[in-house]
Structure 1
Amino acid sequence: MAVTGATTRYTGLASGLDTDDIIKKLMTANRAPLTKLKQQKQMLEWRRDEFRSFNMKFFDFKSAANDMKRQSTFLAKTVSSSNDKLVTATGTADAVVGQHKIKIDRLAESASIRTGELDAIQGRRTTLESLGIEPANAGEKIKISIGGEKGSAEIELDATATIGELVAAISNQSPATGVKATYDESLNRLFLSSSGSGNQSAITLSDNLKSLFTETTFQTFEAGSKTLKDTDKLEVNGEFNLKVDGKELKFNVTTETTVAQLVKRINENTEGGVGTGVSAILDSAGKLSLVRDNGDTLDLSGTDSTLLTNLGLNTRTSVSGVTGTDAKVQYNGITQYYNSNNFQIAGINFVAKQQSTEEVTIGVAKDVDTVFEKIKGFVDKYNELIATVNSKLDEKRYRDYAPLTDEQREEMKEEEIKKWEEKAKSGMLRSDPLLNGALVSMRNGLSNAVTGLGEGALKALGELGISSTLVQGTTISGTYQDKGKLFIDEDKLKQAISDNPDQIYALFTRDDGDKKTTEGDGILTRITETIDGVYAKIRDKAGLANMNEDDYAMGKELKTMNKRLTALQTRMKDLETRYYKQFTTLETYLNKMNSQSAWLTQQFSS
């Protein structure tokens, strides 16, 4: 006897029948429609998953096609430098083929300053008060302002703040100012540096912090509002005089002396092999500045009173900070200024490494091999895609191999299950019209000529040596059995790349803007539009992993099947309950009959 829920089941106690086995066999026959529906659902899910897998393959190929659309894919250049120690270069698609000359007159430098050796006995734990930086009034905080190329910030510190806390406070404001601080205990010096370089980089400080920087810090700029050029002539005969640390330096000038020549003489001037500590800078804005390393003022004079005016040095301007220096280069004889040592000229990316008087030759040539490999890589991806699609369209369907039931799985080994399901899943997309249509559209897009490219322009892949049939001498590659696979005549393609890279770029990437037809669109434009259409159709049919079942066709079918399965499962449960009730009734009657028979037998025997 067995009790299930509110139902008491008598399983063969009176009749001797194996009730459970009988009902199991009865239910097996009745469950046939349910089993068939489960198998149909499984096959629909397999088919849906196959479609989704192909949608990912189409999407990946579209991404590869979009990557190919870059101008640099078809117009790649190789660039060489005659002296990589001075300057290196790489080319963009816009780089002009030929030989170019460049000379690095000056490297770009960041704004940076440092203190002299500090009286910091406790290193980072030394208080600012002991260094002479105190609050304006007793009981207040120390207030410091700091600025850079990004902006300025106000910093407040406790009166007992240390060097370490000052460094942290300045560096914490770096995103707002562009200025970072470090302290080196071995050198016992504080360093400030800007994140950028060139004239745009700067460091400005309030007076209380400026007082720390007494050794190599705040230069005095001698600059008026005059804008100069390297080639400007001084237009006077006489001397330009600088008085530095009590020493007077004299520079002879004439009406033919240029600004560039005077700047060079000042920067190269030494006394006893030691530099003067004065630098001359003509920045990208054409402003001339004289910088004194230790912050002392400079005395300027000229034998001709108009000289300082002509140089724009007749007005003294003291500043509370420092700026960086622009890189100065000569490219094909033209002087240029850049705020970084990484810069671009005429489609060439340069990295200036060292200042020199040497003129470096930069060679630019078409990169045929790189362009060839990119086109070949795209063709290989296309061949791989259509081979995969064709294999599914031709895959054999084994109709005798239905999805396994739970009972069948229990009776089979894991390897047997794997082999069975491989055949059960085979041919899910055999001769599928959607995939077949996608192949036809892609083949047409690749083989049809592109209109609107002009007289004499390359108009089809075949003209590049790319086609579904390749004849080389007595060897023929490509037949109908290859089902659209593309072959490449490497010599012909490389020659086309060398001769007409711009035409190849147009052939692949042209977009005529007309969405009704693809005749005027380039190869890649056609391919991406075709795949967009196929992707949308598969999405509408098989959906995406995160889509609701009501949003795609197969999802609606699965939802309908799930409702039918639920209804059938309910019917099977009710039927099984009814069978058990019937057998329980039988057992009850038999039990009563056995009791009556036993009573009668007892009566006769007595």
Structure 2
Amino acid sequence: MTTRITGLATGLDVDTIVKQTMQAYRTKIDTQQQKKDVTEIKQQLYRDLIKEAQELYNNHFDVLKSGSLVRAATWQSVKFETNSPSLTVTGDASAKLGNYTIKEGSTIAKAASISKTEEELGSSITINGQSFNITGNTVKEKAVNLNNELSKAGINVSVKYTYFAGSTTTNKQGFLFESKLLGKDNNFVIGGTKSKNTLKTGEDAKGAEITGLTVSQLKYNSIDNKVSFKIDSNEITIDIADLNTVGDIENILNKSLSDKDYTAKIDTSGNITFITTKTGKDQTKPSIEVENKNGTYNKITIGFTDGNDTTSAEEIKITSADLGGKIVINGVCIDLSQKGSMNEVDYINNILESNKISVVAEKNTDGIVLKSTITGSNSKIEFSKIDGDETSTGGQDANIVISNGIGVYTHTGTANTFPLDGITFKFTGDIPEKGISVTSKQDSTEIIDKIKSYIEDYNKLIVKINTLTSEKRDRNYQPLTSDQKAEMVRLVVK
């Protein structure tokens, strides 16, 4: 324990004496601290400038931001107004003045749907042949959980709990299931019996596997805690002194093999499997030799499994008898009774393409063949029939007739947003019975305001840069030391 003698006992101010004695050293420390403070101030000023420059870019040149100067829509000088909230019309730089009329009787694309009360839903539900459990303490939780499960399964159907699950004349609250894709052909089925279910999957390319070497063999043949072995001409030496677990040995093996075209894995019994980084079939069987305690190498007996090339899912053949009613391909329901005059192959392919399913249908002499368009483990074809189900209703394609006073354009299909002559029509609700009128006018106010805003922000940044780079620092005034700051605080308080 240190005994401190203060000025009260000796008559001397020890603290002041020590402080004055150390002042020369303290000055050196303060000088370095002040240099550090100056550097940090410069760094902060640089950070502020970089931040402001980035903000200038984000505000005026980010292509994803509305109003960006690099977006064509920013330079739109023609403004469009409609007499209905169901339609928004915007134009790009090529848009021309003109008036448009959405003809009466036009219809937008809608999603097919089915509503179920909580009692009708029960504890499970089958959609497009796949079963899902209903979990959750409240109806909203059940809807959220079921939505998540549908997304994981790749079913293009959403569900929500609503008080508007009935018709236009009937009150009904419950779960509303809707197709995520619009149009009359994007239907789904609830319930029913799944029959003739066939699943084919592809495989990823694999490397060859070599077995026969064990951890116990490595330890037994170690010399001074080091063990050497050869895979063909590749010689590997590892130090197993501090490798207590199988995981340790596996890690050091893979580190040593990183440039030898092999990886290694070890099972719980200590069996080592070497895997070639080269994938595919017809690989050459290697040899493995282990150095024994007298310094010679002994060849061991190995097992060899050739690699695999990447494969696509096998074709699935569908006969004409399989095409009656509704079929499901990779979770997508196809109601062939809705195909109209279109042939079956084109109808199936249109729906698969709209759902982004990597499968195509082709006609052959026996019927239809389903083929995967990709390879590897993601290549999958699953086909089944659904009987005795409840099919969604209400889906419809768009049929929108637009006139500009000179000609007429009819938009059909599953999209409610589409461009025409540099003008984008976006329908967000039903078209009124009397149609919709669209008028336009020339207005460059927004363009001028955006250019002014950019110039003002740019000038502010340039002024700040010029000020900071031309300003001279008065080296007679260094940043305050901690003692100087404390003294200033004392004087202010006093």
Scaled by the length of structure 2, the TM-score of the pair is 0.46
Scaled by the length of structure 1, the TM-score of the pair is 0.39
Larger Rg: 1
Name the structure where helix makes up a greater proportion of residues.
Answer: 1
Name the structure where strand makes up a greater proportion of residues.
Answer: 2
Higher relative contact order (CA 8 A, sep 6+): 2
